[in-house]
Every structure is written in structure tokens, then in C-alpha cells.
Amino acid sequence: MATAERRVVVTQRYFDQATIDYLNENNCEVDIIDLPKGKADGNLTPDELKSLLAGARGWIVGHAHITRELLQDLPNLAVISRRGVGYERVDVIAVRDLGRVITIAAGGNDASVADHTIGLMLAVGRRLREMQNRMQAGDWTILVSSDLNRKTVGLIGLGRIGRSVVQRLKGFNCRILVNSPHPDADYARNENVTFCDVETILRESDYISLHAPLVAATRNLIDEKAIALMKPTAIVINTARGGLVDDCVLLQALKDGRLAGAGLDVYLSESDKSLADVTAELIALPNVVATPHSAASSLEGLARTNMVAARSVVAVLDGGDPPETCVIADGRTRPR
């Protein structure tokens, strides 16, 4: 029987019934927050979050900022489970210091984001947006576009999503260049990819797709210097994190014709609202195909990540351990 002592707050939309049933079957009281249209949990103030989470033991969260102060004001909160894989908005040290657990939904959205990445490559390369816009205006002139087939594709980052993209690119007979902190000779041989430095990827790739985490070393990875190395026919794809790309520089390069196009699912303005006008200009360009941080949001992908997040919550509330690949920090064993 569900109890208030096992109250789990969900601040994400599209939480499916099967996952709700799973939580209920494991004696959790599920409280799904009905956020106003256009507002996500990343827009909630600390006071709003404290009010919604008062007394909760588990929290299934999207992009809210999880600070030391917030956690200190929520002493009952045992586990924070991200329905996603990034955690740059989480004070991981505070989670550990305060004896809490933070998990991610590892493996839940790999296929969805990889599909989306290939979709953006095709849409930008084949100029689908430009042609549809012209047709709607009555102009059926054929625009010459570019194949993905047999192109050189550079992937910066080779985690679960990057490896899923490699699998999909095989069907396009691409030459695949990869940059990763952990080059793997067996993987390179088995998957017919080439590990190389970032500069080589920038110089030689027709498509450059970002799959790295956002850390100090990768922030503004695509900046003026990086773009200067790229072919003018190159296309940049970002389904990872907005901070990997200097959007102001990207915007100017696209307007100047120094790049052929971009496929974007993430933006600097998600974390810095002062850049909203830059994002607006980017998504208005005819050679940009843009989506609203939705790469993981297929019905199937959401169902998978919901369940991964829920299983982590139940594991912690039961006194057990979530899957090792999902755990970012576990402070339960840390002396306090």
C-alpha cells in the first residue's frame, strides 16, 4: 500500500501509466506536478521547488537546479532521479555530503537521441526546411542538396548515444572519425571507425556531431577557432548540451556562409536567458533545423527513461542500490 513516507514527486511531463503503476506497486505515493504550459521544472524557483517537494522521499526531475541550499531545506528527500543523462545542474558534492543519492536514466534515451541526430543530419543536408518553406510560398524551384551517403562524419564524444549513432551511420557507408578520452582499438577495428584528435575531425568532417558531456574542458568547444578549421560545406549537429557551442559565433558563421548549416536541439539560452535573441536568430535561419531539446522525447524513449528513473527511486527507498551505471553520487555510506 502506497504511503506518504514513500511519496515520490514527479516534475516532468509525459509520465506514462505503466511507470506510475510500477511505483504504486512498490508502495510509492506518486505526486505528478501539473506545471503550467510552457513552464518546465528548470524554470521553478527554489521556493517553488521547496513547496512542491516538502516531505517527499523521492524526486523524478528534469532540468531543475539542485543546490546545496535546496537539499538542506528538504531533509526527507533521499533520492533524486534524473529522467535524462546530464547532471551539470546538480551540486553533486552537496548530494554526497548530505547523504543523498542522485541517479540518471542511463541507457533509456540512447536510441531516441541517436535517431534524432541522424534525422537532423538528413534534414539539414537535404535542405528539407528550405524547400518546404519555399513550396509554401509558391516557389517549387528545386534546391540542390547533399547526401549523407559516403560522407565523413566526425563524432566528438563516444558514450552510449555516440555509439548508437555509429551503428546508424553504417547504413550510410560513412567514414566515421571519433574523438574520445578513451580510444578503444578493439572498438575501432570492429566498428570500422578512426579515433583521432578534435582538430582532425574539424578539418576533415562533412558533418560534426557533438556527444560530449558539458564540463569545463568542453565548454565552448565549437568556438571561432574551431569553426575556422571547418570546411565551408560542413554541417554542425548538437543534440548534447548547449554550452558545447558558442551560439553567437555559430550564428555569425552561418550568416556569413562559413558553414553550410546546423541541426540544433540544445541552446546556450536554456541556461542563459540573455541569449534568447541569439537563439531566435539561429532558428530563423533557413539553413538551420531546430528542435526544442526534444531529441529524447519519443514515446518510446520517454517510457524507457521514466522506468529507469522509477527503478532507481524504488531501489533507494527499499535500502538497496540502483544500477551502477545510473549512480552519479551516493552519500549514504559517507560519514556525516
**pLDDT per residue over 108-122, tens digit each?**
999 999 999 999 999
Mean pLDDT taken over the chain: 95
pLDDT tens track for 66-104: 999 999 999 999 999 999 888 889 999 999 999 999 999
**Across residues 48-75, what is the average pLDDT?**
96
Task: Provide the pLDDT for residue 1.
Answer: 54
Please, what sign has the CA dihedral across residues 272, 275, 277, 278? negative
What is the C-alpha separation between 213 and 234, in angstroms, rounded?
Answer: 22
Ordered strands of the 28-32 beta sheet: 28-32, 3-10, 58-61, 79-82, 101-103, 327-330
Grid cell locating 291 = 528542435
Residue with cell 560513412: 174
At 2, the pLDDT band (50, 70, 90 cuts) reads: low
Contact 240, 157 (CB under 8 A): yes
Closest CA to 297 of 62, 9, 89: 62
Residues 259-317 pLDDT 10s = 999 999 999 999 899 999 999 999 999 999 999 999 999 999 999 999 999 999 999 99
Share of the chain above pLDDT 70, in %: 98
pLDDT-derived band at 36, boundaries 50, 70, 90: confident
The pLDDT, as a whole number, for residue 38 is 78
Amino acid at 87: Y
- pLDDT for residue 335 is more than 60: no
Give the active site residues: 241, 270, 293
Please name which of 109, 74, 27 lies closest in space to residue 314, comparing C-alpha atoms.
Answer: 27
pLDDT at 181: 94
**Over 60: is that where the pLDDT of 50 sits?**
yes
CA nearest neighbour of 127 among 202, 19, 235:
235
pLDDT tens, 207-240? 999 999 999 999 999 999 999 999 999 999 999 9
Cα 268 to Cα 252: distance, rounded to the nearest angstrom: 15
- Give the helix/strand (H/E) hosting 252: helix 247-256
Q: Which of 327, 295, 326 is nearest to 107 (CA)?
A: 326
Question: Strand 79-82 relative to strand 101-103: parallel, antiparallel, unpaired?
Answer: parallel
Residue range 237-265: average pLDDT?
A: 97
pTM: 0.89
Domains defined along the chain, listed by start? 3-108+298-330 (3.40.50.720), 111-290 (3.40.50.720)
Model confidence pLDDT, tens digit, residues 153-179: 999 999 999 999 999 999 999 999 999
**Which residue reads 549523407 in cell numbers?**
148
Residue 138 has pLDDT above 70, yes or no: yes
Task: Give 3-state DSSP helix, strand, coil % of the chain, rounded to 5.
Answer: 40, 20, 40
Can you give the pLDDT at residue 20? Answer: 97
